[in-house]
Amino acid sequence: MPPCHGSCGSILEADALRLEQIIVNLLNNAIKYTGEGGSITISVSRENDKVLVSVQDTGVGISPDILSGIFRHSISKSRARKGRGFGGLGIGLQLVKSLAEAHGGSVSAYSAGLGKGSLFSVSLPLPPAVSFKKKEAPQSEYKNETSSIDFKKHYPLQSKVMIVDDNEDAGWSLSLALQKLGCTTSVSNDGVAALHLFKSFSPDIVLLDIGLPGMDGYEVARQLRKNKTERKVFIVAVSGYGQKEDKEMAKAAGFDQHLLKPVSLKSLGELISSLGQA
């Protein structure tokens, strides 16, 4: 990444592909006119309500008569002929100018003269300031349970619990609650990521949501059962459906137990405690 000076926490509304074209064309220009042993620097800075992207080189430089019209096709081709024999730059610099202006910006060029390098700068406007509210941490649905009972006293658990839930707030809420019971937890929000986490985290217990997008909980459970582990891993289905056929499907997929949402932290703590004593 190029060095960033000033306040860089800025959001630039731009076409990513066109922005890439601007920078690539300026870099190509610098490379073609900078000899071996020279240097090229790209920098990004903020100036009031604009972002300034600059590419500076120590190359052949630009004479004053060429500099004044450097972004005109005929002038740029003339510079190419007078430089190191590279063509095609007229179109490149013209493109930079047109793309910058299409974004409401501008481009400028500076050189102290032949043999003294050059500096090309693109100025792009920032959108009007937007006030962003800091996202508050989700309120735990287990807050009342954890505040009314000293679960760590009653259930000094030491189990490693992996939570798989596509609802990020729900997953982290349960994770924090289980940590208060003494558990070590890890959270995943999709099935594929859960399979990777399982290998690195090596949990004792997996609390697995059935209704995951893409690879659902049933398939995740089947894949987990294929993993050869030294000890038995207890997989719990967490679902909003609790009919007999739902529980039978869970059992067939490799689940050890089926819990109906919303899960009581007290009952979950008792389950984990019983597994630890087994």
Backbone angles phi, psi at 165, to 5 degrees: -150, 130
Dihedral Cα 56, 60, 61, 62, nearest 10 deg: -130
User: What pLDDT was estimated at residue 141?
Assistant: 56
User: What pLDDT was estimated at residue 9?
Assistant: 53
Write the single-letter amino acid at 79. R
User: Are the folds of 4-125 and 143-277 the same?
Assistant: no
Task: Transcribe 111-155 into DSSP letters.
Answer: -SSTTS-EEEEEEEEPPPP---PPPPPPPPTTHHHHHHS-HHHH-
CATH of 143-277, one of 3.40.50.2300, 3.40.630.10, 3.90.1010.20, 3.40.50.300: 3.40.50.2300
Q: 55: how many CB neighbours lie within 10 A of its CB?
A: 24
Q: Which segments of 150-236 does DSSP mark as H helices, in order? A: 151-154, 168-180, 191-201, 217-226
**Domain-wise residue ranges, the chain:** 4-125, 143-277
pTM of the predicted model over 0.75: no
User: What pLDDT was estimated at residue 49?
Assistant: 86
Identify the segments of the chain with pLDDT beneath 50.
Answer: 1-7, 74-90, 130-138, 147, 152
- DSSP 8-state assignment for residue 44: E
User: What pLDDT was estimated at residue 4?
Assistant: 46
CATH fold for the domain made of 4-125: Heat Shock Protein 90 (3.30.565)
Kindly list the distances between the CA atom of residue 98 and the CA atoms of 20, 104, 158, in Å, as whole numbers in the listed order.
14, 10, 63
